[in-house]
Structure 1
Amino acid sequence: MTLPRPLLLAAALLSAALAPLAAHAQTDATEARVIVRFKAQADSVRAKALAVRASRGEAREVAQTRATALGLRAGRSLAAGLSLDERTHVITARGLSSAQLARQLAADAEVEFVAVDQRRKHTKLPNDPLFGGAEVNPESTVSGGQARTIDQWYLKKPSSTPGQVVSSINAPAAWDVTTGASSVIVAVLDTGVRPDHPDLAGQIVGGYDMIGYGSPGNASTVIANDGNGPDADASDPGDWVSQADINAGTISGCTSSDIGSSSWHGTRVAGLIAAASNNGTGMAGVGWGLKILPVRVLGKCGGYDSDIIAGMKWAAGLNVPGLPLNSNKAKVLNLSLGGTGTCGATGTGALYREAITQVNAVGGTVVVAAGNSEGLAVEMPGNCPGVVTVAALRHVGTKVGFSSLGPDVTIAAPGGNCINTGAGQPCLYPMVSTTNSGATSPVANDAAYTGSAASVGTSFSAPIVSGIVGLMASVRPGLTSVEATQILKSTARPFPTTGGGSAADGNPPQCKAPSATVQDECYCTTSTCGAGMVDAAAAVTATVALNGVSIGIAASPTATPAAGQTVTLTATATGLPSGRTVASTAWTVVDAGGIVTGFASGANTATATITPSAAGSFTVRADVTDSAGVVYSQTLQITVSAVTPVDPVPVPTGSSGSGGGGGASSALWLAGLLTAALALRRTAGRAAVRSARRG
């Protein structure tokens, strides 16, 4: 992009003015880091628009210009990083905490809201191999007191006998219908994936390393641990931490338990979803015909919300300023990660909500681990609306002690548990998956599988469900998130009420609503662990039954109205099973685009009316429920034109008035910015003179 000569001069002078204010590098542990959304009518937004298909350089330039102006008004040097959309950017500073920076910037008249860019971590680590025999082995021992053979018990046909393996998902019966279509892609947002593992080498399509794009300082390469910033290489270099990292404080959120050991977490998650199978070696994935899209968002000691949110959008094929468009659009997104917080309507929660809504609107389903808080409440992003949140079960169907619980949970799946273990004995019921044997850096072409150590956690319950949703999408390519959620719930098997207990607790209680008190093993209820125990075969069979049913949405008088024009939407269902009729239709604005505040009428009828307030686009969804209680969904995007042309922003005489960002630069705004920068530089210079005289 080439700026007009007056603007080039202004930019050069501005850089010179600010140079003394940004002389030192930033690190993850010392920088304040927030996500700022500017108001749509802010001068800095109107002065230079950011195109959704902007290059990385263009996106960074526009974001930095806005950050600079914001910093001048706040009297602080600000640096910009990742842009989540056209007016939402990561911004960092030094000399104060992230919470202090958020409060300061939130007071600016151009700012819509500010959220601290928090770190999130994967929820547990795993370890061991192979599908084993056709049936589940009971919990038993063989001669010599050795534990039974460890296998992929969680995939088998479940037992009907209380106290034996009742939580397994019945994958073989689902495989009789489909082993997964190669056109269905499951994104693994995690530490990256080892693409050279023999059971994963043919399962990977594309991918991206998001780590560091939001960080303008040198912390990005430290966290990423691969020596560079964002790129198309989503392979896992290892997430180990050195004692030097801890001592130097270069990364926040690290503890001594992170030292000297890489988790290979994303590789383990990927194997559970789609490890190559029926090949006489290794293990079986839930859907071995599916493909994996690795999106690297977690590095040393976790990853930032901004990288995770951008990764979600990118994985679903949505535009993210500065990133190349993903040509391998994911149908399912697996997030085996989490952290603190509630998914509210403002701040970070609002950003997660928006991303999830956008992913759902383009047909994607987001599956999230409930978390390992030992029976406390589910936290973000598992408590966000629009996701499938998965709790963990023991082999006997009770809640595993470590799993979080509560009304935010959608469904429960095996999460691994260790019982009757003693010195020299392995974990009896781990979640077997692919891994790497490297302690820190990866071993090349390593065919390792999780071994004798305990491999448990909701991190591994979530990919079980992601694989099942992938199988469901293989038999119904148009599967929506609403349909997937409804089918998983309606086909779930009831939780057992007997057969629990262990050496630690021979008589576990019924699970209760989450509080500040931990809950270990307990008998699940539908209000604490979701609708029931997930059943792969039943879910796939029910999905097949949806085929032949389609929902159409007609817009009258037009699907491309002008601002202020009322549109009537009508939903119709065709191909319903014999004897069924439409019982109700629910309408939802899944993406208001800033131009829809709600329905004027028809929220629970076959028709709905909407009057958009301005130009842009918005997306609605119709959820049609038939007389048997089955829900079918369809979305429609409405493009709205302006009533009258918008007056262009004035530009300097003789300039082109536009650049790669697709907007116009305001000479008056830039002049004001330059004046403020020079004044700030003079103030800084006088302060330096006074300091020198005192010295």
Structure 2
Amino acid sequence: MIRKNPSFRISLVAAAVAVACAAPAAMAAGAAPLQTREAPRAAPAADAAARLIVTYRDGGLSNALKLKTVNAAATRSRAMTAAAARSGTKAPSASYMRKLAVGADLVRLDRRIGARELDALVAELAADPAVAAVEVDRMMRHTGAASLRGGMVTPQLTPDDQYYAQYQWHLQNTAGGIHAPAAWDVSTGEGVVVAVLDTGIIDHPDMDANMLPGYDFITDTFVSRRPTNERVPGAHDFGDWNDDPNQCDVTTSSFHGTHVAGTVAELSNNTSGMAGVAHNAKVLPVRVLGRCGGYTSDIADAIVWAAGGSVPGVPANANPAEIINMSLGGGGSCKSVSQTAINTAVALGTTVVVAAGNSNGDVANFSPASCDGVISVGAARITGGRASYSNYGAKVDLAGPGGGGGVDGNPNGYVWQASNNSDTSPELGAATYMGMAGTSMAAPHVAGVAALVQSAVVAGGGVPKTPAELEAILVDSARAFPATPDRAIGSGLLDAPAALAKALEVPCDPAVEECAPAAIELTNKVVVGNVSGTAGSQTLYSIEVPAGAKRLNVMTYGGTGNVGMYVSAGDAPSAQSYDYKSARPGNNEAVRVNKPASGTYYILLVGEAAYSGVSIEARID
């Protein structure tokens, strides 16, 4: 993690910051000495004892039989691993930890083992007839990376918060901002609960009134800094600093969860501090990250609990969240236990928003951002361009303000919200305001706008949007990028007033007016990925072609199954009536129109067989 720390005297002093994956920046609430600080990005923890998540085919097996299965696999795998066999030590022994909300069991090995031996153990266990699935309980970490600290009306609602105008470009009508003032005339998020699964929160006068009682799901004393492995009420952030390089990289505390929660619902119009996106919503803080990160198993249970589901050993959640924000992740494609937890939350009606990650790589290789059923959020700069660290790819749904770090200077390179100025425990510091950059910062902007939408819909007498409906509203209403990004980061830039307008628009009544076909609007040269459908399904898209265009290219590619593509100008096509067609076996379809007339072109995707993971793109030259 890279952090910067200028204090606030009369104005915030700019400081250069090198952005690795994402950048935090901070400003203190009082006068403090100026300082700049950088620290390396935290590495995954070296687990004191490996943990495995095992799903058994017979959920009624006794714990003793479950452990017998694991220990037998450990013995077999050790004999097959030459280095382990030569060491002369016994195979690791497993102990039972608990049942997860998703039905899997968590077991702990009594000591660390090498990567090859661990891989062999997982393979042996997966091959056991009693086992349906197994995965290592990996550590995930937050997706923030650099910080800057410092001490420190009209028809469109302009907050009177002290630092809003100068620092919070990300909420304003900048090229990369969410254009919040016009949205606040319609909704401020009242009545909506947003769960923030992160490092927990600290006491902060600009946030406390919007924080609900949360829960601490961390089950490892080293990670949590609490005296026991028990889960406990409250979500206090004890600090995630680490001074032991044998565990993970040495870092100062990030207070990441406080910053993320502030983006969602920091108090506004209170003449002090800064503003939040949905400043009349409530945040349910859920602590899942601590020193060196957090376990997948704890995060999965927290997802289910936050959505109102049942978790063994944890009291029922009195404030189920309509929206969950997870500005966290790890390497590898979506984990089975994470997907099952997300599926449970979505089935309960909760929308799950996830940061795409900060490795400048394809999001398909990161979890939980690559899971199905989530809104995966990339990061944009103040210019509206892709932040260099942001993950990308077909699974990214849209981009939110993440900040470009030092390349855009201070304050414009960072997203600004509440924090603490301590390097370690928050009790040793004081309330502050910090600028950070990363997809961690982009995601809670999306979660906040989702809260604005749900609040407005209910206030208007409507029924809350389903997760799929809410995702479609946010994605389809996104503002076009000022220029085509160098990598695909979704349908466009998060636009708060446009999302509200789309959610509240009155459906066209064909009895009194001529209605355009209901279609998903494509943006020129922006890929829409992860498209799926059943055999015989039909999905209609549209693209506006300006006068003077030389050609229109529409293509689909990737994924599995078989789609057909039918294109018409002005009217929706069908498989029997169309202007252009491409229906080859598989998903690689292409239609090219030279010198197209200006107007609306409609593209119909038909499932010749069930298909998934398909990308569609329209290019106008």
TM-score range for the pair, normalised by the shorter chain length: 0.5 to 0.7
The residue number in structure 2 matching 1:374 is 360
Equivalents in 2 of 1:382, 1:106: separation in Å? Answer: 25
> Closer, same or farther in 2 for the Cα pair 1:576/1:84, shift >3 Å?
farther
Q: Does 1:524 align with 2:524?
A: no
Q: Note if 1:83 corresponds to 2:99.
A: yes
Distance 1:169 1:602 in 2: 38
Q: Match for residue 417 of structure 2?
A: 433
- 2:354 and 2:153 mapped to 1: Cα distance? 28
Shift of the alpha carbon at 1:133? 12
Report what 2:192 is aligned to: 184
- Superimposed CA distance per residue, residues 547-570 of structure 1 (whole angstroms, 9 cap, x where no aligned partner): x99xxxxxxxxxxxxxxxxxxxxx
* Greater percentage in strand: 2
Flag the 1:495–1:237 CA change in 2: closer, same or farther, 3 A. Answer: same
1:210 aligns to what?
217
1:166-185 per-residue CA deviation (whole Å, 9 max, x = no partner) reads: 1111100000001111x211
2:332 to 341, 345, 368: 341
In the alignment, the residues of structure 1 paired with residue 512 and residue 394 of structure 2 have an alpha-carbon distance, to the nearest angstrom, of 32
Q: Which secondary structure does the structure 2 equivalent of 1:409 belong to? A: coil
1:299 aligned onto 2:299: no
Aligned position for 1:543:
503
Q: CA distance change for structure 1 residues 581 and 429 in 2, over 3 Å: closer, same or farther?
A: closer
> How far apart are 1:417 and its partner, in Å?
2.3
Task: Report what 1:100 is aligned to.
Answer: 120
* Aligned mates of 1:403, 1:382 — CA distance in 2: 12
Which residue pairs with 1:33 in the alignment?
51
Structure 2 distance, partners of 1:279, 1:372, is 33
How far apart are 1:103 and its partner, in Å?
Answer: 2.3
Cα offsets for 1:37-56 (capped at 9, x unmatched):
010xx3xx3356xxxxxxxx
Query: What is the percentage of aligned positions where both structures have the same residue?
Result: 37
Q: CA deviation at 1:431?
A: 0.6
2:172 to 143, 156, 166: 156
Residue 134 of structure 2 is aligned to residue 174 of structure 1: no
Please give the alpha-carbon distance, in whole angstroms, between the structure 1 residues aligned to 2:511 and 2:317.
35
Instruction: Please say if residues 85 and 321 of structure 1, whose CA atoms lie closer than 8 Å, have aligned partners that are also in contact.
Output: yes
> Does the alignment pair 1:222 with 2:203?
no
* Residues 102 and 340, structure 2, Cα contact 8 Å, conserved in 1: no
1:583: Cα distance to partner?
7.0
SS of aligned partner of 2:375: strand
Judge conservation of contact 1:417–1:427 (CA < 8 Å) in 2: no
Following superposition, the deviation at residue 427 of structure 1 comes to 4.5
Larger radius of gyration: 1
Equivalent residue for 1:469, pick from 440, 447, 450:
450
Q: Give the secondary-structure state (helix, strand or coil) at the position aligned to 1:292.
A: strand
- In the alignment, the residues of structure 1 paired with residue 516 and residue 153 of structure 2 have an alpha-carbon distance, to the nearest angstrom, of 46
Q: Which residue does the alignment assign to 1:201?
A: 208
2:238 maps to what in 1?
237
Cα distance in 1 for residues equivalent to 2:401 and 2:142: 17
CA contact (8 A) 1:375 1:401 kept: no
Decide which of 333, 336, 340 is 1:350's aligned counterpart: 336
TM-superposed CA distance for 1:207, in Å, is 1.1
User: Alpha-carbon deviation of 1:470?
Assistant: 0.8
Gaps of at least 5 residues in structure 2 are 1-44, 76-91, 157-163, 459-463, 520-532, 540-571, 573-599, 603-621
Report matched runs for 1:408-423 at 5 Å.
Answer: 408-418=395-405
Q: What do residues 282-306 of structure 1 show as CA deviations (whole Å, max 9, x unaligned)? A: 1100010010011111111111111
Cα distance, 1:104 vs. partner?
Answer: 3.0
Q: Give CA deviations for 1:291-323 in whole Å, capped at 9, x if unaligned.
A: 001111111111111111111111000112222
Q: Distance in 2 between matches of 1:116 and 1:28?
A: 13
**Do the aligned partners of 2:151 and 2:432 also contact (CA within 8 Å) in 1?**
no
Cα pair distance change 1:129/1:283, threshold 3 Å: farther
The aligned residue for residue 275 of structure 2 is 284
What does the per-residue CA deviation read over 1:405-443, in whole Å, with 9 as the maximum and x for residues that have no partner? 11111011111124578xxx8454311110011110013
Q: Deviation digits for residues 516-565 of structure 1, max 9, x if unmatched?
A: xxxxxxx417x70100111001101211226x99xxxxxxxxxxxxxxxx
Q: How big is the shift at 1:266?
A: 0.2
> 2: distance between equivalents of 1:540 and 1:172?
12
- 1:127–1:432 CA contact under 8 A, matched in 2: no
Task: Report the TM-score, using the length of structure 2 for normalisation.
Answer: 0.66
Match of 2:317 in 1: 326
1:34 and 1:101 in contact (8 A); partners too: no
Please report how far the alpha carbon of residue 578 of structure 1 lies from its aligned counterpart in structure 2 after TM superposition: 6.8
The 2-side partners of 1:461 and 1:431 are apart by: 9
Relative to structure 1, is the Cα distance of residues 68 and 268 closer, same or farther in structure 2, using a 3 angstrom cutoff? same
**CA distance, structure 2, for counterparts of residue 429 and residue 185 of structure 1:** 29
Shift of 1:109: 2.3
Which residue does 2:66 correspond to in 1? 67
1:92 Cα offset (Å): 1.4
Any idea what the Cα deviations from partners look like across 1:335-362, whole Å, max 9, x if unmatched?
101111112xxxxx22222222221122
- 3-state SS, counterpart of residue 433 of structure 1: strand
